Amino acid sequence: MTDPTRNEAIPRRFEDFVQQRLERLLRYATALTCDPHLAEDVVQDVLLRAQRRWDRISSLDAPDAYVRRMVTNEYLSWRRRRAARHVSTTHEALEALSAPVADHATYYAERDAMRARIATLPRKQRAALVLRYYENLTHAEIAGALGCSEGTVRSHISRALSVLRATAPTGAVKEVLA
């Protein structure tokens, strides 16, 4: 699956870019941080910095990727380390991420359990998983976003999946990450 925003024309005005991309940036940041409130803070900080440099950013080949990398870097920043330890797992916060299914209790229990397991991963492993399985980026694109080699990306993903498989009920990770 490819990112539909990659084929759209990038708006020249910062306000238009934010109007078109804000919801996607917030979803991405929420998947990274596992906390919608922290995600809003991360995106807000990034957009404030991006606005000051929008003339330069909008002239790049891939402004979307650049801003997404800014979000990733802000999440990985040492300044956010303390705030990222608290993971919101309230039903209201999680429901905002996706529509509920018929059996709410089972769905919430599985999602809460998976969210809790993902939240225990080191931040770079979590970021690699989100970029791979949520953003559908290639290993090369993830390496660019995280500032590391493709081998390191594969290692982060492999280790993260191993931890998730080891801590999950039998077969649960296969169904979720297959």
Domain boundaries, the chain: 1-88, 103-178
Asked if 93 and 35 touch (Cβ cutoff 8 Å), the reply is: yes
pLDDT 10s digits, 21-77:
999 999 999 888 888 888 999 999 999 999 999 999 989 888 989 999 999 999 888
pLDDT at residue number 92: 67
102-114 burial code (b ≥16 CB/10 A, e <16):
eeeeeebebbebb
pLDDT 10s digits, 97-153:
666 556 667 777 887 888 888 888 999 999 999 899 888 899 999 999 999 999 999
According to the CATH classification, is domain 1-88 in 1.10.10? no
- Provide the Cα torsion 161, 42, 11, 146; round to 10°: -40
Rg (CA), the chain: 17
> How far is Cα 115 from Cα 130, in angstroms, rounded to an integer?
12
Q: Looking at the domain covering 103-178, what would its CATH class be?
A: mainly alpha
Helix (H) or strand (E) holding 8: none
DSSP symbols for 67-106? HHHHHHHHHHSGGGTTGGGS----HHHHHTTS---S-HHH
Amino acid, single-letter form, for residue 29: A
